[in-house]
């Protein structure tokens, strides 16, 4: 019986019991290698799989000069901050753009580099013990012939905001030092994964699906982890997941997984596998290093085996550079965006005096699940000097961004209010 994905901790406890009984397998990766890898990452305190470090860069680092990500699209410095093989959207570059993130400024998170895959040579193979029969293949045309759906959904890296564990909370974390720009909202068009799984003959015995990318294998700390892949419970896979082939009305661009990627609403970005080439449908729980070792919560607040991650969290960002200078006595309009994976954002409050007084921001979008709201607040700075701008969102579940986030070693799911430094001159 598939477990309810809304009860994620129950789902994970069940998986962990199965793991402990030795029923689980971590496709192609030896358990000892994983432990060694995690120990190395933790000891180094700086390099994890989420890292842009030399180990995580894998083959891309060998093929390209250091710090030049293997992307196809241009990454001009006004729009992006380069972080190893990844490119972070500069939030200031979103000011004046619409609700959707234009493709030319949508962040890129690549474990290695962007592969070029022609639509007419692309194939998706669906296979595994959770199907009634053998493998079933989908060409691009077959996928496009299925009923198409469109959804506006954000994709956000689990490590978005990671650098604030260090700069605000004084804590050490491993991985790419994102500020808040590892998120984008797009209009995705594609087939439902549920339609594909049904055509492939998914049975009631199916437990997990494991989509895998066609990009290069990932080598970290000398261990080949294979291709990027992360399991989803079949209940989520049958619920609202898309196999997307269009982004903002264009064919899906290479850097964002073209010709076809998964879009997994509300879940951490790594769930949305780009350049998907095959999907294993397991009749037993499936594992990969991307849910046993990375993209998992470890630290003093968590059990030794760690805690699972599925849904993203709640955040706010100003459309302004960190450390910006603003003129004294001049009226400004502060703008920004807030988002939550749990429910629509209903309220945003802003402080321009380091968190003493708060004002309601004006919302410029109807709050909607799976997307962000744009907001604004007028501000006339009255005194020169350094200050901090703060924005704090509350979603329809009543959850408000907290003052601090409990530490985890890989710096995931930062949701605390960010102190955005500015200098009034």
Residues engaged in binding ligand MTE (CB under 6 A): 106-111, 155, 157, 184, 213, 215, 228, 256-257, 269-270, 272-275
Q: Does 61 bind Mo ion (CB under 5 A)?
A: no
Residue (261 or 374) nearer to Mo ion, CB: 261
* Cα pseudo-dihedral 338, 86, 97, 256, rounded to 10: -100
**Would you list the DSSP string of 371-383?**
SEEEEEEEE---S
Helix and strand counts by DSSP (H, E) for the chain = 8, 25
Distance CA 41, CA 49 (A): 8
Options 153, 270, 286, 389; binder of Mo ion; rule CB under 5 A: 270
Residue (5 or 269) nearer to ligand MTE, CB: 269
Residue (157 or 393) nearer to Mo ion, CB: 157
- Minimum distance from residue 270 beta carbon to Mo ion (Å): 5
- Minimum distance from residue 272 beta carbon to Mo ion (Å): 9
Q: Which 8-state DSSP code applies to residue 20?
A: H
| Residue 272: contacted member of ligand MTE, Mo ion, none (CB under 5 to 8 Å, by partner type) | ligand MTE
| Residue 273: contacted member of Mo ion, ligand MTE, none (CB under 5 to 8 Å, by partner type) | ligand MTE
**Is the bond preceding 118 in cis, omega lying within 30 degrees of 0?**
no
Q: Does 196 bind Mo ion (CB under 5 A)?
A: no
Phi, psi of 387 (to 5 degrees): -145, 180
Assess contact for 392 and 417: CB atoms under 8 A.
Answer: yes
Query: In the complex, which residue's CB is closest to ligand MTE?
Result: 213
- Minimum distance from residue 213 beta carbon to ligand MTE (Å): 2
For tokens 């037993």, name the residue: 284
Options 15, 83, 105, 109; binder of Mo ion; rule CB under 5 A: 109
Query: In the complex, which residue's CB is closest to Mo ion?
Result: 157
Options 52, 57, 157, 218; binder of Mo ion; rule CB under 5 A: 157
Q: Which 8-state DSSP code applies to residue 256?
A: G
Q: What angle do CA 406, 4, 295 make, to 5 degrees?
A: 35
Phi, psi of 89 (to 5 degrees): -65, 130
Residue (106 or 164) nearer to ligand MTE, CB: 106
- Minimum distance from residue 215 beta carbon to ligand MTE (Å): 5
| Residue 213: contacted member of ligand MTE, Mo ion, none (CB under 5 to 8 Å, by partner type) | ligand MTE
- Minimum distance from residue 290 beta carbon to ligand MTE (Å): 8
- Minimum distance from residue 111 beta carbon to Mo ion (Å): 9
Across the beta sheet with 362-363, the strand order is 314-318, 332-340, 372-379, 362-363
Residue (236 or 274) nearer to ligand MTE, CB: 274
* Cα pseudo-dihedral 358, 359, 365, 368, rounded to 10: 40
Token reading at 233: 């419970």
β-sheet bridge partners, residue 325: 423
Interface residues toward Mo ion, by CB under 5 A: 109, 157, 269-270
């Amino acid at each position: 019986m598939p477990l309810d994905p809304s009860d994620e901790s129950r789902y994970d406890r069940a998986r962990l019991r199965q793991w402990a009984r030795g029923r689980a397998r971590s496709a192609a990766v030896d358990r000892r290698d994983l432990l060694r890898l995690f120990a190395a990452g933790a000891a180094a305190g700086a390099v994890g799989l989420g890292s842009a470090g030399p180990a995580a860069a894998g083959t891309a680092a060998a093929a390209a000069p250091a710090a030049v990500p293997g992307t196809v699209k241009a990454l001009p410095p006004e729009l992006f901050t380069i972080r190893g093989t990844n490119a972070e959207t500069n939030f200031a570059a979103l000011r004046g753009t619409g609700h959707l993130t234009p493709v030319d400024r949508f962040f890129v998170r690549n474990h290695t580099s962007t592969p070029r895959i022609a639509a007419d040579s692309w194939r998706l193979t669906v296979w595994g013990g959770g199907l009634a029969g053998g493998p079933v293949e989908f060409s691009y045309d077959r996928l496009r012939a299925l009923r198409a759906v469109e959804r506006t959904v954000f994709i956000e890296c689990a490590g978005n905001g990671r650098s604030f564990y260090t700069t605000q909370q004084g804590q050490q974390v491993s991985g790419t030092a994102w500020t808040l720009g590892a998120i984008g909202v797009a209009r995705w068009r594609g087939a439902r994964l549920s339609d594909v799984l049904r055509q492939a003959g998914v049975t009631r015995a199916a437990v997990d699906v494991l989509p895998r990318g066609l990009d290069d294998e990932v080598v970290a700390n000398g261990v080949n982890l294979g291709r990027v892949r992360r399991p989803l419970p079949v209940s989520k896979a049958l619920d609202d997941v898309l196999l997307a082939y269009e982004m903002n009305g264009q064919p899906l661009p290479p850097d964002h997984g073209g010709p076809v990627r998964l879009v997994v609403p509300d879940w951490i970005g790594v769930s949305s596998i780009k350049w998907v080439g095959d999907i294993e449908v397991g009749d037993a729980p499936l594992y990969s290093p991307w849910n046993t070792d990375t993209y998992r919560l470890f630290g003093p607040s968590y059990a030794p085996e760690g805690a699972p991650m599925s849904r993203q969290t709640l955040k706010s960002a100003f459309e302004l550079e960190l450390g910006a200078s603003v003129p004294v006595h001049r009226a400004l309009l502060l703008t920004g965006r807030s988002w939550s994976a749990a429910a629509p954002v209903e309220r945003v409050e802003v402080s321009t005096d380091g968190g003493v007084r708060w004002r309601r921001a004006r919302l410029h979008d109807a709050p909607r699940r799976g997307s962000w709201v744009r907001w604004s607040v007028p501000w006339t700075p009255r005194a020169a000097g350094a200050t901090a701008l703060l924005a704090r969102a509350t979603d329809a579940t009543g959850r408000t961004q907290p003052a601090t986030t409990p530490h985890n070693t890989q710096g995931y799911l930062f949701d605390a209010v960010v102190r955005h430094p500015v200098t009034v001159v």
